Amino acid sequence: MQAVTLGPAGTYSHRAARAVADDVAFRESVSAIVDAVNTGEYERGVVPIENSIEGSVTETLDAIASSNISVTREIVTPIRHALLAQSEEFSVVASHSQALAQCRTYLETNYPEVKLEAVASTARGVERAREDSSIAGIGHPDNAGEGLSVIAEDIQDQSSNATRFFVIAPESARSDAGGKSTVVVYPNANYPGLLLELLEAFAERNINLSRIESRPSGNRLGDYLFHVDFEAGLYEERAQDALDAVEEIASRGWVKRLGSYDSQHVLY
């Protein structure tokens, strides 16, 4: 199976994608990956969804909420960042915004003078460092070589750093099977207790929520949609009942059932 993920080759997303596909293609933004799966150009996509230090990848949440894709698996991988450069003499660090944020304290402490530059991915930053000796990249240490050395390893601000990826697929691949599910809820309403009602729909049926994230709807200030992950499969009656209740609460808006899936931990 072919999958599309964040490129160029050597990103953390690429490493996660190898767990689902032998053949991996690349795009340089999450929205472009979601588009390429939404249109059926690729059967699978792999996108970063949240990180244990930096939190949500909001570009991914927003792209998913405005598409019709399904989620077929989650992959969790540890992230260990290395600083990669031609030599210690660099004045710019170029990397993915999440990687720069995950190493913020390290960079401020050790390189207070360097300029940080956000680029499309960690591998794009590494490529810039390979072309230009005044630039360092942050990425997986396997990206060293061909003129690039590992200047420092394990530079993330917390030693425990993990990222969760979603494997996405066209709508036709949506599954009700699996131990976890994800839905996006847009209530298009605002009254006291709305969120409490949403949470009660799950609590009353003994369904554990593993995450709830609000994102602006984009329609008006103070109007939100909610990304909800819960520990039950959509094949289960309690999950169907909970979502019936949620549909009622969101009767002025919409509910997207992205699907049920299992979790896989990938070490590398």
In 10 A of CB 207, how many CB atoms? 17
- Which DSSP string corresponds to 188-244? ----TTHHHHHHHHHHTTT--EEEEEEEE-SSSTT-EEEEEEESS-TTSHHHHHHHH
The residue type of 161 is: N
Closer residue to ligand PPY, CB minimum distance, 89 or 146: 146
Closer residue to ligand PPY, CB minimum distance, 124 or 257: 124
- Distance (Å, rounded) from C-alpha 75 to C-alpha 266? 7
Closer residue to ligand PPY, CB minimum distance, 96 or 205: 96
Closer residue to ligand PPY, CB minimum distance, 11 or 181: 11
Of 58-66, 86-94, 116-124, 221-229, which part binds ligand PPY (CB under 6 A)? Answer: 116-124
- Distance (Å, rounded) from C-alpha 237 to C-alpha 207? 11
Measured from the CB of residue 95, what is the shortest distance to ligand PPY in angstroms? 7
In 10 A of CB 49, how many CB atoms? 24
Of 19-27, 118-126, 184-192, 242-250, which part binds ligand PPY (CB under 6 A)? Answer: 118-126
Closer residue to ligand PPY, CB minimum distance, 57 or 246: 57
- Distance (Å, rounded) from C-alpha 18 to C-alpha 140? 15
Of 92-100, 169-177, 192-200, 234-242, which part binds ligand PPY (CB under 6 A)? Answer: 92-100
Q: Rule CB under 6 A: is residue 48 a binding residue for ligand PPY?
A: yes
Contacting residues toward ligand PPY, per CB under 6 A = 6, 11-13, 48, 51, 79, 96, 98-99, 121-123, 163
